[in-house]
Structure formats: structure tokens, C-alpha cells
Amino acid sequence: MNTKKFKAIITVKIKPTIKDIKTITLKEAVSDLLEVKNFNCSIDTQYNLTYEAEDMKKAKAIAQMISDEILSNSVIENYDISMEEIHE
């Protein structure tokens, strides 16, 4: 069976309703110490994956499965997936 190579960039974010201490600390430090006005931020985790799959649909399903099973926990986190086929 022919497979193609894909790249998935998965960004895991803490849900806005969850208290994220790192983000709060960064926001307060930049606002108070560096005096940047109306500063907002989020601290996300990005994973860059490459793998083979039959087509884009199946490649995306693999990225979702990895995100659901290992890279995120739906109680506190959301994730975004950006996919592209790699042509070598």
C-alpha cells in the first residue's frame, strides 16, 4: 500500500476557564515590570510530528488520536492541528 509523508503541528492550550499560573505570572511580570499596556498572552505547548499515512484524512485522524491519548487532557486543555503533506 502506498503511503505519503505528513507533518502535523499540534498546539496544546490550557482552557481559558482553567487557572494557568505560568500565564498569570508572565502577564503580571510583563505588565508590571516591563510596563507593557494591555498585555495578554497564553503559554502553549507545540509538538511537531512527522509520519506516514495513506492520505490526508487518515493522517489527520492519527494526529487527533495522538492528541487525545497523549498530548492533551480534555478536562483542562484544547488543541489545534495544522497538517501538511511533505513532498521530498
Partner 1 sequence: MSKIKAGIVTFLGTNCERDTKYALESLGWTAEYIWQDDIINKQYDVIFLPGGFSYGDHISSGRIAKLSNAVKSLPVGKTMIVGICNGFQILCESKLLSGVLTHNENMKFISKVVSLDFFCETIKIPIAHHQGNFTYSQKNGLKTDEKIIMKYKENVNGSDDNIAGIYNIKEKIIGMMPHPERAVFKELGLTDGKKIFEFIKNEI
- Enumerate binding residues for partner 1 (CB under 8 A): 17-19, 21-22, 69-71, 73, 75-76
* Beta-ladder partners of 14: 77
From first CA to last CA, the distance across the chain in angstroms is 18
Give the CA dihedral 39, 80, 16, 14, nearest 10 degrees: -90
Nearest distance from residue 70's CB to partner 1, in Å? 6
Closer residue to partner 1 in complex, CB, 49/76: 76
C-alpha grid cell, residue 68:
487525545
Shortest distance in whole angstroms from residue 3 CB to partner 1: 24
CB of 10 to partner 1, least distance (A): 12
